[in-house]
């Protein structure tokens, strides 16, 4: 397994231990050690704990020859030599955006200089300048970025504080402490107020080619407020948890934004996890509601998500954690409402309960 983390974190190559090694395994272990000696790098400011961990990694495969460096920007050196604009690349079929029509046969679609000039980061050089400042002056860099957002109450003078040394007290990382904002407002409302209400906010592509949809910022706000008002109507308030067990539908970001809008803590669970894994997360966060859909298609296969949720809620109830509301979106491309397992009094259809709730 390869581990790679910048600065004070170990970069290493671990190999499996075995009681018996044949010649091939011994040769492989020797090659692993050789690669590790070339790859393992530690900043000179590494904490004693990091070095001890690194030593343990090295010892596990008999490695040595640690390399130290004080250059925390060494990993961007390779980027500085990248070409500044489009050029001919051998063995690749590349087209320049705006100069030729892109097709599925094109391996690369490169931005034109005019297109790049409109981007927030128009060049590699600009990226490097921004990145280096973010490392050398993180407080100033992120303060400038955050100042572009809406803040109901701006943070005090100190942008961030941290303690990563347990000998000096509890481990903590704090950013913009004291500031008050709303992420949903920044993602949606702010763009509408800037005159972008009719601009596409979400592009969605379904399971089948040609099965897609879009939402403008204004449409997105309408849908988010519908769901947010429903959650408030069933008693979800700031600090309460909501479990979201949805596939890649537009209802997933809508649900996340609705929770953020009212200050609810959303726990997004990958809609491929088993009933047991979902039950563990329900028990852990004790949600006021679970949001899911009846089913989803992955290729030709239909995944019955609602049945997985039903099983998870049964398991969590056995530990004393019951959920009163299971809000279910009808994904008609995978399953009709009539075929969906249903528990009256707990299960609620998304469309029925949100369609009459507006801003």
- pLDDT tens per residue across span 246-304: 999 999 999 999 999 999 999 999 999 999 999 999 999 999 999 999 999 998 999 99
For 134-192, how does the pLDDT look when each residue is reduced to its tens digit (9 = 90+)?
999 999 999 999 999 999 999 988 899 999 999 999 999 999 999 999 999 999 999 99
Look up residue 97 and give its DSSP letter. Answer: B
Which residues neighbour 312 within 8 Å (Cβ) at sequence distance 6 or greater? 275, 276, 278, 279, 282
Q: Cα-Cα-Cα-Cα dihedral of 307, 309, 314, 320, to 10°? A: -170
Per-position b or e across 286-297, b if 16+ CB within 10 A of its CB: ebbbbbbbbbbb
Burial of 18 (0-12, 13-18, 19+ CB in 10 A): exposed
Residue 2 CB-density burial (10 A; 0-12 exposed, 13-18 middle, 19+ buried): exposed
How far apart are alpha carbons 302 and 293 in whole angstroms? 12
User: Count of alpha carbons within 13 Å of 64, Cβ hemisphere only?
Assistant: 1
Query: What's the mean pLDDT in 313-329?
Result: 97
The CA angle 179-185-191, to the nearest 5 degrees, is: 125
Query: Which of 183, 198, 196 has its CA nearest to residue 228?
Result: 183
CATH number for domain 186-354, candidates 3.30.1540.10, 3.40.50.620, 3.40.50.980, 3.40.50.970 = 3.40.50.980
pLDDT of 66 strictly over 80 = no
Sequence ranges of the chain with CATH classification 3.40.50.980 = 186-354
CA distance readout (Å), 114 to 80, 89, 122: 21, 21, 10
Specify the pLDDT at position 96: 78
Task: Judge whether 187 and 215 are in contact, CB under 8 Å.
Answer: no
95 pLDDT higher than 50: yes
Question: Could you tell me if residue 7 is left (phi over 0), alpha (psi between -120 and 50 degrees) or otherwise beta?
Answer: left
Check residue 258 and give its pLDDT. Answer: 98
Give the distance from CA 326 to its chain's centroid: 24
d(CA 330, CA 349): 7
- Residue 227: C-alpha distances to residues 254, 329, 336 (Å): 8, 12, 22
Q: Would you say 183 and 260 are in contact if contact means Cβ atoms under 8 Å apart?
A: yes
For all residues of the chain together, what is the average pLDDT?
A: 81
């Amino acid at each position: 397994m390869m581990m790679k983390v910048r600065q004070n974190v170990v970069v290493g190559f671990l190999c499996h231990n075995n009681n018996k090694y044949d010649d091939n395994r011994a040769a492989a272990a020797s090659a692993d050690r050789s690669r590790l000696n070339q790859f393992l790098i530690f900043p000179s400011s590494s904490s004693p704990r990091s070095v001890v961990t690194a030593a343990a990694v090295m010892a596990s495969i008999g490695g040595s020859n640690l390399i130290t460096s004080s250059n925390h920007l060494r990993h961007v050196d390779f980027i500085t030599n990248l070409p500044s604009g489009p050029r001919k690349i051998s063995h690749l079929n590349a087209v320049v955006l705006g100069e030729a029509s892109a097709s599925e046969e094109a391996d690369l679609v490169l931005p034109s200089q005019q297109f790049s000039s409109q981007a927030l980061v128009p060049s590699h050089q600009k990226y490097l300048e921004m990145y280096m400042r973010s490392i050398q002056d993180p407080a100033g860099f992120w303060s400038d970025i955050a100042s572009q957002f809406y803040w109901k109450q701006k943070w005090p003078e100190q942008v961030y504080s941290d303690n990563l040394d347990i000998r000096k007290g509890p481990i903590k990382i704090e950013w913009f402490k004291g500031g008050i904002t709303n992420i949903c407002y920044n993602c949606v409302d702010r763009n509408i107020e800037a005159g972008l209400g009719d601009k596409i906010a979400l592009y969605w592509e379904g399971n089948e080619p040609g099965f897609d949809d879009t939402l403008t910022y204004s449409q997105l706000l309408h849908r988010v407020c519908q769901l947010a008002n429903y959650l408030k109507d069933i008693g979800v308030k700031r600090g309460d948890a909501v479990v979201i067990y949805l596939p890649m539908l537009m209802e997933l970001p809508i649900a996340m934004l609705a929770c953020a809008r009212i200050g609810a803590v959303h726990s997004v669970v990958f809609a491929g996890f088993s009933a047991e894994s979902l039950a563990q997360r329900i028990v852990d966060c004790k949600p006021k509601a679970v949001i899911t859909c009846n089913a989803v298609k992955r290729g030709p296969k239909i995944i019955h998500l609602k049945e997985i949720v039903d099983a998870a809620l049964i398991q969590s109830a056995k530990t004393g954690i019951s959920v009163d509301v299971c809000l279910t979106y009808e994904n008609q491309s995978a399953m009709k409402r009539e075929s969906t397992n249903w528990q009256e009094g707990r299960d609620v259809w998304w469309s029925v309960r949100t369609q009459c709730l507006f801003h």
